[in-house]
Amino acid sequence: MNPVYLITGSQGPFMTFLVKYLLEQNAQVWAPPGQPEAQIIPPKGTEEAFHPLAQIPRTPLAARALMLDFKNNQRTLDYHLHIYNPAVQGKSLGEISATVIDQNIDTSIKGLVFPLRESLTYMLAQESGSVALVILGGMNTIFPPLQSIGYGAVQEVGRSLFSLYQNEGIAVRGFQAPADVDYGLYLDYISSVLRENTGKTRGRWNKFSGKTGLFGLR
């Protein structure tokens, strides 16, 4: 059967590229529909394999409703990929309004914790599945203050999950690459790691420099 993917996190060009990449690999994909500047239009012939989310699962109700839909339709969730890619110009905290700070935290923290909580619970119940935290950026760079909140959350939540789920029947991994990495190369690397599913890539951050071969890994 075709693998089932749930995609959450930062919307934008990278997520759009990721969804199209997976659809071309004959996957079934549940993901946000995209933003106006990066709307997700499935490649020809894959339209029925793309399932745009009616609600972004960054509230308890939306995340639970999504997994309830999976349960009611007896779907196996093979992969949950959560993306962190700020893709915005940074400002000092003094230049950012309280409203923007609140919205950013709502997206980067609640949008991380609630879908992860539900997908991990679902995968534990089905005794299979793989969760991957995917970061674009942050290698050899420092994020501005607001973006560093989301980055730090993903990094530390990842480390915690690596430890807590190391003896469970599901796999938890992290991936990180430079912001200017070639999307295709990065996703080829991630896909190969997920397919191989070896113990040496579980429970850790797998860093990809953007080069091919052994020298591309850190």
Question: In sequence order, what DSSP letters do the residues of 131-175 get, joined into one string?
Answer: EEEEEES-TTS---HHHHHHHHHHHHHHHHHHHHTTTSSSEEEEE
- Residue range 67-119, pLDDT digits in tens: 999 999 999 999 999 999 886 667 778 888 889 888 888 889 999 999 999 99
Alpha-carbon torsion angle 187, 202, 76, 176, nearest 10:
-30
pLDDT of residue 134: 98
pLDDT of residue 87: 66
User: How many percent of the chain have pLDDT more than 90?
Assistant: 69
Residue 215: band (very low, low, confident or very high) from pLDDT cuts 50, 70, 90: very low
Residue 37: band (very low, low, confident or very high) from pLDDT cuts 50, 70, 90: low
**Full-model pTM:** 0.92
pLDDT of residue 214: 47
- Residue range 137-161, pLDDT digits in tens: 887 777 888 888 899 999 999 999 9
User: How many percent of the chain have pLDDT more than 70?
Assistant: 94
User: How confident is the prediction for the chain on average, in pLDDT?
Assistant: 90
38 pLDDT more than 80:
no
Rounded CA separation 176/52 (Å) = 25
179 pLDDT more than 60:
yes
Please, are residues 134 and 88 in contact by the beta-carbon 8 Å criterion?
no
216 pLDDT more than 60:
no
SS3 39: strand
